[in-house]
């Protein structure tokens, strides 16, 4: 950030020296990337700023996703929103129906940029688009993959983790009983995302009615009638048998894996950077497991964030925004970001470029997420999720799952309660947004 400011100051200084040159149009981008990811984001912005002399994007770190969201809400209410903001995937419906945004595809086309929106990887495109038009620019897209400790598996006599949950369970129990590691796996902090939502997509289980909400606000959760219930029961069993551990507060689950204490870990592909840096173990990664009776498995869905464009700015500034979004969508930018962070390249062209350059020969695990996302044709169970107040329903669900882990509720009971609570939250969202159509107004 400091560097950024210095850079801008320097460029303004330079401009002042050469006299009345054309002033750069400055636009703000509020984001939620911290530490390594934040540095890489700043690098990306600097690449854009030095690539041309008309526009300056100022990246402002506003804390975590919640803080960014609250910041932009407050700014919008005070009529001083930034031009662009990075919002996490769960905020999609809130942003879409907020009346505060300009759909990205409309803006970019109006400003005459030719981004091939059909080229985006399907689950990425379907997640961020409404009726086939992109509402936000996919930026940091991830998906959960299955990380494992190679040595532990070899010691137990396995080549690699099994592809089905049933076989995998046997392997993890074997590793535990042979005393190779203390725990077979560690519960990820965002298990609801990887082990319930993505689990449902991969195993072709409906999560909600109306095509997981894609067909309307009247959607209701149905995961209490699917394999999610037995999945929760499975996790509970693993916990009780000591095959799975919970890291808990004050300690990150990732550390239990990278330190070699737990043999496997389901986590986002975006943790490549961290794991490469921190792991003291011989690790690798593979696809998420699927149920033995679901073959072939479906694609997984995305997580992460996208860039939303806020309403209420001048045409010149939207020029700058469109130019930046076009830059972000370039295969070169995508490949660079993919390599720097571990997030997936959002377009097929970018993926092809990374392949062409032999990137995956040295980084085979970085290809897993792309392959897992783009396998097969997404159906209505695997396209993604369109639930309003999706953070709130998720927290209610997480609480119910924790009640199962604590032994207070049976899995079926807990999922019934989670669905009931979730549906009340969905009805409130429907009530508030009934009759609203997403923004179609052109800037």
DSSP, res 155: H
Nearer to another protein by C-beta: 337 or 429? 429
CB 136 → another protein: shortest distance, Å? 15
Of 79, 114, 277, 431, which lies in the binding site for another protein, with binding defined by CB under 8 A?
431
The candidate with the shortest Cα–Cα distance to 87, out of 77, 104, 72, 102, is 72
Nearer to another protein by C-beta: 21 or 406? 406
Ramachandran bin of 342, using left for φ above 0, alpha for ψ from -120 to 50, beta for the remaining angles: left
Q: What is the largest CA-CA distance in the chain?
A: 75
Which residues lie closer than 8 Å to 4 by C-beta, 6 or more apart? 42, 45, 46, 58, 59
Of 282, 292, 377, 428, which lies in the binding site for another protein, with binding defined by CB under 8 A?
428
Of 389, 418, 419, 426, which lies in the binding site for another protein, with binding defined by CB under 8 A?
389
The 195-234 contact track toward another protein, x by CB under 8 A, reads ----------------------------------------
Of 396, 415, 418, 419, which lies in the binding site for another protein, with binding defined by CB under 8 A?
396
CB 356 → another protein: shortest distance, Å? 42
Number of residues that bind another protein (CB under 8 A): 41
Chain residues 260-289 in contact with another protein, contact rule CB under 8 A: 261
Of 113, 405, 413, 438, which lies in the binding site for another protein, with binding defined by CB under 8 A?
405
Nearer to another protein by C-beta: 155 or 420? 420
Of 47, 77, 178, 357, which lies in the binding site for another protein, with binding defined by CB under 8 A?
77
Of 171, 245, 341, 381, which lies in the binding site for another protein, with binding defined by CB under 8 A?
245
Strands 84-88 and 283-286 turn out to be unpaired
Residue 110 burial by Cβ neighbours in a 10 Å radius (0-12, 13-18, 19+) = middle
| 109-113 long-range Cβ contacts below 8 angstroms, 24+ apart | 110/322, 110/442, 110/443, 111/318, 111/319, 111/322, 111/323, 113/322, 113/323, 113/325, 113/326
- Between helix 228-240 and helix 411-433 the angle, nearest 10°, is 130
Nearer to another protein by C-beta: 360 or 405? 405
Q: Is there binding between residue 421 and another protein (CB under 8 A)?
A: yes
Nearer to another protein by C-beta: 272 or 421? 421
The candidate with the shortest Cα–Cα distance to 151, out of 289, 274, 262, 255, is 262
CB 310 within 8 A of CB 81: yes
Q: Is there binding between residue 237 and another protein (CB under 8 A)?
A: no
Of 1-9, 71-79, 172-180, 298-306, the segment contacting another protein by CB under 8 A is: 71-79
Q: Alpha helix locations (H) across 78-226?
A: 92-96, 104-110, 122-128, 150-155, 165-177, 191, 198-202, 209-212
CA distance 59 to 41: 8
Q: Is there binding between residue 246 and another protein (CB under 8 A)?
A: yes
CB 58 → another protein: shortest distance, Å? 23
Which residues, listed in sequence order, are joined to residue 193 by a DSSP beta bridge? none
Nearer to another protein by C-beta: 89 or 326? 89
CA distance 201 to 193: 11
Nearer to another protein by C-beta: 307 or 373? 307
Q: Is there binding between residue 296 and another protein (CB under 8 A)?
A: no
Q: Is there binding between residue 402 and another protein (CB under 8 A)?
A: yes
Of 152-160, 293-301, 350-358, 427-435, the segment contacting another protein by CB under 8 A is: 427-435
Q: Alpha helix locations (H) across 18-121?
A: 35-51, 65-77, 92-96, 104-110
The 95-134 contact track toward another protein, x by CB under 8 A, reads --xxxx----------------------------------
CA distance 343 to 209: 30
Q: Which residues bind another protein (CB under 8 A)?
A: 66, 69-70, 73, 76-77, 94, 97-100, 239, 245-251, 256, 261, 389, 391-392, 395-396, 398-400, 402-403, 405-406, 408, 421, 424, 428, 431-433, 436
């Amino acid at each position: 950030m400091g560097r950024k400011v210095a850079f801008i100051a320097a460029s303004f200084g330079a401009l002042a020296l050469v006299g009345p040159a054309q002033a750069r149009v400055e636009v703000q981008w509020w984001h939620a990337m911290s530490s390594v990811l934040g540095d890489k984001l700043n690098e990306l912005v600097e690449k854009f700023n030095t690539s041309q002399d008309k526009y300056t994007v100022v990246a402002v770190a506003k804390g975590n996703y919640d803080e960014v969201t609250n910041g932009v809400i407050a700014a919008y209410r005070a009529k001083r929103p930034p031009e662009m903001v990075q919002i996490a995937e769960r905020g999609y419906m809130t942003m879409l129906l907020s009346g505060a945004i300009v759909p990205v595809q409309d803006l970019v086309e109006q400003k005459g940029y030719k981004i091939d929106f059909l080229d985006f990887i399907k689950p990425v495109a379907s997640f961020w688009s409404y009726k086939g038009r992109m509402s936000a620019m996919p930026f940091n897209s991830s998906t959960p993959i299955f990380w494992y400790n190679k040595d532990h598996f070899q010691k137990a006599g396995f080549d690699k983790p099994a592809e089905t949950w049933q076989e995998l369970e046997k392997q993890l129990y074997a590793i535990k009983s042979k005393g190779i590691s203390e725990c077979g796996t560690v519960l990820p902090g965002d298990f609801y995302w990887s082990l319930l939502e993505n689990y449902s997509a991969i195993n072709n289980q409906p999560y909600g009615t109306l095509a997981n909400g894609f067909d309307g606000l009247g959607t209701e959760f149905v995961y209490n009638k699917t394999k999610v219930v037995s999945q929760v029961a499975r996790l509970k069993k693993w916990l009780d048998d000591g095959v799975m551990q919970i890291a808990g507060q004050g300690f990150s689950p990732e550390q239990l894996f990278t330190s070699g204490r737990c043999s496997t870990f389901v986590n986002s592909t975006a943790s490549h950077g961290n794991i490469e840096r921190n792991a003291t173990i011989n690790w690798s990664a593979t696809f998420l497991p699927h149920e033995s009776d679901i073959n072939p498995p479906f694609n997984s869905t995305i997580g992460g964030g996208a860039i939303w464009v806020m309403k209420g700015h001048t045409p010149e500034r939207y020029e700058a925004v469109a130019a930046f979004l076009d830059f972000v969508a370039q295969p070169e930018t995508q490949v660079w970001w993919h390599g720097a962070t571990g997030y997936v390249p959002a377009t097929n062209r970018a993926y092809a470029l990374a392949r062409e350059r032999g990137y995956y020969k040295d980084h085979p695990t970085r290809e897993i997420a792309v392959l897992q996302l783009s396998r097969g044709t997404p159906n209505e169970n695997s396209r993604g999720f369109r639930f309003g107040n999706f953070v709130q329903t998720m927290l209610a669900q997480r609480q119910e799952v924790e009640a199962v882990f604590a032994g207070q509720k049976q899995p079926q009971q807990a999922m019934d309660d989670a669905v009931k609570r979730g549906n009340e939250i969905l009805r409130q969202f429907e009530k508030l947004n009934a009759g609203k159509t997403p923004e179609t107004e052109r800037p």
